[in-house]
Amino acid sequence: MRILIVGSGGREHALAWKLSQSPKVTQLYIAPGNGGTAALGQNVPISDDDLPGLTSFAKDNAIDLVVIGPELPLVLGLKEALAQSGIPCFGPSAFAAQLEGSKAFAKSVMRDTGVPTANFRVFDDVEAARVHVAERDMPCVVKADGLAAGKGVVVCSTRDEALEAVNDMMAKQIFGKAGERIVIEDALKGEEASFLAFCDGTTVVCMPSSQDHKAIGEGDTGPNTGGMGAYSPAPILPHEDYEMMADLVIRPIVRHMGTVDQPFVGILYAGIMYTEDGPKVLEYNVRFGDPECQPLLSRLDGDLAEIMQACIDGTLADVDIRWKPETAICVVLAAEGYPASYPKGMAITGLDEADAISGVKVFQAGTTLDGDTVRTAGGRVLGVTALGSDLADAKERAYKAVDAIHFDNCYFRRDIGDKGLRRD
Ligand code: AMP
Ligand code: GLY
């Protein structure tokens, strides 16, 4: 099987690492990839939003399966572009990808299917949104409808903050077209968890629970990032609740997509808030989370290529998907300054020493190869991932590996996993 992975983050390094272990896989390409994926396959310099470039590469290189990591190419319709050339792809259609690409779409599907979520209203008109903010209870959350590189959600405790967010998105258009329509919803309080499932259009197979750490600072302080660390399983969502949770937040959506003739194939990811009134969905993603993918794939005890092919073939029910009982944790090392501006090009040392620690695998994200030197090339640089007998053991191994790695201006959180440790 000749596989093309689309994307360049820690998630894509983990995908390449897991797929390269499959006896079915004969050749791996990663577009555009990073310093880590270069060791597992061939990086090709095509960006993830270059649909014609990706499609002609796949055609010219007899690709059997395209695995799409990030949301943007899915929302732009890469699956459809590939389908025109008869190339199969793991990931949903552009229509189904609206579950992530349009917050208003996701909220209306949740309302129609009875999935618990925060009360909301959708606005296309700035004046109507301002009136609503003046009249409604605070706190609230203002969300740009479209993709905004993870920055389109503002949790507002006062009317002034909410008005500013409405003005930024709709009048000043700081997210361009993504903010022409907005969702304003009730702010929920509680602990978050990530719940992902493989889907073949009908069958849903739950992955173990995981938990991301979105804020840049320890104790969940400061601005949100793409994710500063993750672990799996998350004790807040124990194994015995997975099927109940799938019935509550995943299967209704997959059934709905089937009834509108848009079968959901790929990964459906529910971001859940555990509120006093029970779990509620904050958002859907239509792909692996980054960094949740790194601990999840570290625990997957099977052939990822086989699972992905079964999703495409509609035969997921026939595959036996097993997970290692150990806990996995991923600590993200970032360049100081991220998620705002940060320096690039710093040399990274200690990667081999870190990888040599038992249970540890370092996934690269914003890196590039400069001869034999690995250099930083992005905000999130590495995802230091470790398997351990429990969360405390995994955490100890991961931070031992973190301490073996060096690059100038390295920033990371020391408290990844602590919410889980407090519950254990
Ligand atoms: P989203 O892109 O919708 O996942 O939002 C990003 C983050 O914003 C979530 O992980 C939450 O931390 C926060 N968030 C989103 N919606 C709400 C809400 N209704 N109440 C409180 N926090 C929220
Ligand atoms: N870790 C959150 C995300 O991938 O969206």
What is the tens place of the pLDDT at every residue in 59-97? 999 999 999 999 999 999 999 999 999 999 999 999 999
Residue nearest to atom 8 of ligand 1 (CA): 153
CB atoms within 10 A of CB 238: 12
pLDDT, the chain, mean: 97
- Per-residue confidence (pLDDT) for residue 118, from 0 to 100: 98
140-160 in b/e burial notation, b at 16+ Cβ within 10 A?
bbbbbbbbbeeebbbebeeee
Q: How many CB atoms lie within 10 A of CB 224?
A: 16
- Tell whether the torsion through CA atoms of 299, 304, 308 and 313 is positive or negative: negative
CA 396/CA 215 separation, integer angstroms: 21
Instruction: Give the per-residue pLDDT at 235.
Output: 97
DSSP three-state, residue 415: coil
pLDDT level of residue 424 (50, 70, 90 thresholds): confident
Residue with the smallest CA separation from ligand 1 atom 18 is 187
Residue 290 CA: nearest ligand 2 atom is 4
pLDDT digits (tens, 9 = 90+) for 135-183: 999 999 999 999 998 789 999 999 999 999 999 999 999 999 999 999 9
Residue from 220, 285, 287 to probe ligand 2 pocket by mutation (most atoms less than 8 Å from CB): 285
Relative to beta strand 229-232, strand 211-212 is antiparallel
Q: What is the dihedral sign for C-alpha 17, 19, 24, 25?
A: negative
Q: Could you tell me the two tokens for 221?
A: 């302080």
Question: Which pTM was predicted?
Answer: 0.97
CB 88 within 8 A of CB 65: yes
Binding-site residues, ligand 1, Cβ < 6 A: 118, 141, 153, 155, 185, 187-188, 192, 214, 271, 282-283
Nearest Cα neighbor of 66 from 250, 265, 323, 253 is 265
Q: To which H or E segment does residue 99 belong?
A: helix 94-101
> Which residues, other chains included, contact 25 with Cβ-Cβ below 8 Å and sequence gap of 6+?
1, 3, 19, 305
The atom of ligand 1 lying closest to the CA of 283 is 3
User: Using CA positions, which residue lies closest to atom 19 of ligand 1?
Assistant: 187
Q: Is the pLDDT of residue 214 over 90?
A: yes
Q: Where in the chain is the domain with CATH 3.30.470.20?
A: 191-423
| pLDDT score recorded for residue 109 | 98
- Compute the half-sphere exposure of residue 409: CA atoms within 13 Å on the CB side of its CA: 18
Query: Which ligand does the CA of 332 lie closest to?
Result: 2
User: Measuring from atom 3 of ligand 2, which residue has the nearest CA?
Assistant: 289
Burial of residue 97 (CB within 10 Å: 0-12, 13-18, 19+) is buried
The class level of CATH for 125-180 reads: alpha beta
- Note the pLDDT tens digit of each residue in 260-319: 999 999 999 999 999 999 999 999 999 999 999 999 999 999 999 999 999 999 999 999
CA-proximal residue: ligand 1, atom 1 (nearest): 283
CATH number of 191-423: 3.30.470.20
Q: How far is the CA of 70 from the centre of ligand 2 (A)?
A: 10
Evaluate: CB of 285 within 6 angstroms of ligand 2: yes
- Alpha-helical regions (H) of 61-92: 71-76, 78-83
pLDDT for 220-262, tens place per residue? 999 889 999 999 999 999 999 999 999 999 999 999 999 999 9
- Tell me which residue has its CA closest to atom 14 in ligand 1: 282
User: pLDDT digits over 334-382, tens only?
Assistant: 999 999 999 999 999 999 999 999 999 999 999 999 999 999 999 999 9
Q: Find the ligand nearest to 230 CA.
A: 2
- Average the pLDDT over 187-210 and give the result: 98
Query: Pairing mode, if any, of strands 120-123 and 42-43?
Result: unpaired
Residues of the chain within CATH 3.30.1490.20 domain(s) are 125-180
For residue 227 and ligand 2, the question of a CB distance below 6 A is answered with yes
Structural fold of domain 2-91: Rossmann fold (3.40.50)
Q: Are 389 and 382 in contact (CB under 8 A)?
A: no
**Nearest ligand, measured from the Cα of 147:** 1
Kindly state the average pLDDT of the residues 401-424: 96
Closest by Cα among 280, 109, 288 to 207? 288
